[in-house]
């Protein structure tokens, strides 16, 4: 059997298109060291022309709506194309932050107190501050890369933020003050814990993608006990949400040492300087080796399926 080609998908139509294009280019260059590779730039909410289920295995670096929400994965399934990463069901669940919260909390992974609401039936600032205090995180329920995320620190600030909520599905949650961490997972096993220290105090879109606005410590300078707790919570959440192959999971640790899950990223950033590669380097995987490992389970599924047909 001829060796499969890795089809790296990048771009898309979401607010994170430019981020995805950067990830795709970096991942394709790295994949080319170990596999025949082709970069496909996606410009519509459809699979790119030229994908061949008999030849290609997809490594998607697309983010946001269509890329991460299960829509693209369902199209790949329907076309019979094997792909790395979470399947459609797991992708859809993890893209929905509220459903993710309910799922992981049922398995004992703590999340911040919060409320889910539609813009057409949004709560008042008075109701939210009475329930959660004046330090509140307001964010879209189904977006990635901190798109639309707002941190409010007063009732007046919350009133202004809520006035801008005109459509869609949202979450308001009590802000956890403390230290932020992330950890990558391969085949459900946690790698190294990375600490994220934004200079502004908030890891928003600007802090993520503007050079120099955030410091990273990989591995995090924390006790082995805390690192183990973060890794264990990540592995529990990964399994609970039906994730597959790999993911990156973000946490906050409050000032009194309580651990809270923030979100699960099923298609995290894939530049060499991104957080998942940072986590992988903590356990001895450079970027080329990481890309090879991300696709390895999909290569196995592809080979098993093609052997079964013979």
pLDDT of residue 203: 66
Query: 10 pLDDT exceeds 70?
Result: yes
- pTM, two decimals, is 0.93
> Any catalytic annotation for residue 248?
yes
Residue 37 CB partners (closer than 8 Å, separation 6+):
5, 6, 7, 8, 28, 31
Mean pLDDT, to the nearest integer, of 160-183? 96
Domains and CATH numbers, the chain: 5-85+287-309 (3.40.50.20), 94-110+177-281 (3.30.470.20), 114-174 (3.30.1490.20)
| Residue 34: how many other CB atoms lie within 10 Å | 15
Mean pLDDT, to the nearest integer, of 267-290? 96
pLDDT of residue 15: 84
Among candidate residues 38, 99, 188, 209, the one labeled active-site is: 209
pLDDT of residue 143: 79
Among candidate residues 141, 145, 207, 274, the one labeled active-site is: 145
High-pLDDT (> 70) share of the chain, %: 95
Query: 200 pLDDT exceeds 80?
Result: no
> Any catalytic annotation for residue 20?
no
pLDDT digit string (tens) for 44-55? 999 999 999 999
Residue 237: DSSP 8-state: H
Among candidate residues 17, 248, 281, 292, the one labeled active-site is: 248
The answer to whether 264 and 237 are in contact (CB under 8 A) is yes
What are the helix (H) ranges across 121-185?
125-132, 155-163
Query: 185 pLDDT exceeds 80?
Result: yes
pLDDT of residue 260: 98
Of 143 and 186, the structure prediction assigns the larger pLDDT to 186
| Residue 252: how many other CB atoms lie within 10 Å | 21
pLDDT digit string (tens) for 212-242? 778 999 999 999 999 999 999 999 999 999 9
pLDDT of residue 309: 76
Query: 145 pLDDT exceeds 60?
Result: no
């Amino acid at each position: 059997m001829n060796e499969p080609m890795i089809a790296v998908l990048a771009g898309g139509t979401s607010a994170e298109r430019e981020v995805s294009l950067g990830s795709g280019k970096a991942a394709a260059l790295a994949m080319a060291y170990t596999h025949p590779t082709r970069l496909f730039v996606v410009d519509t909410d459809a699979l790119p022309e030229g994908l061949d289920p008999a030849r290609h295995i997809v490594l998607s670096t697309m983010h946001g709506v269509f890329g991460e929400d299960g829509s693209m994965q369902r199209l790949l399934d329907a076309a019979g194309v094997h792909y790395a990463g979470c399947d459609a069901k797991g992708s859809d669940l993890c893209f929905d932050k509220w459903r993710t919260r309910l799922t992981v909390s049922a398995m004992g992974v703590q999340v911040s107190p919060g409320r889910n609401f539609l813009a057409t039936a949004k709560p008042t600032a008075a109701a939210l501050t009475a329930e959660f205090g004046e330090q509140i995180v307001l964010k879209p329920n189904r977006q990635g890369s901190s798109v639309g995320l707002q941190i409010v620190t007063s009732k007046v600030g919350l009133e202004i933020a809520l006035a801008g909520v005109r459509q869609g599905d949202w979450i308001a949650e009590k802000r956890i003050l403390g230290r932020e961490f992330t950890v990558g997972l391969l085949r459900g096993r946690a790698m190294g814990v990375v600490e994220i220290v934004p200079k502004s105090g908030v890891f928003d879109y600007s802090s993520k993608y503007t050079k120099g606005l955030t410091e990273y410590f990989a591995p995090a300078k924390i006790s082995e006990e805390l690192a183990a707790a973060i890794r264990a919570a990540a592995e529990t959440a990964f399994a609970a949400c039906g994730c597959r192959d790999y993911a990156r999971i973000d946490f906050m640790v409050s000032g009194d040492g309580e651990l809270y899950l923030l979100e699960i990223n099923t298609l995290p950033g894939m530049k060499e300087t991104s957080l998942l590669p940072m986590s992988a380097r903590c356990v001895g995987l450079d970027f080329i080796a990481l890309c090879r490992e991300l696709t390895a389970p999909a290569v196995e599924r592809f080979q098993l399926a093609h052997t079964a047909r013979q």
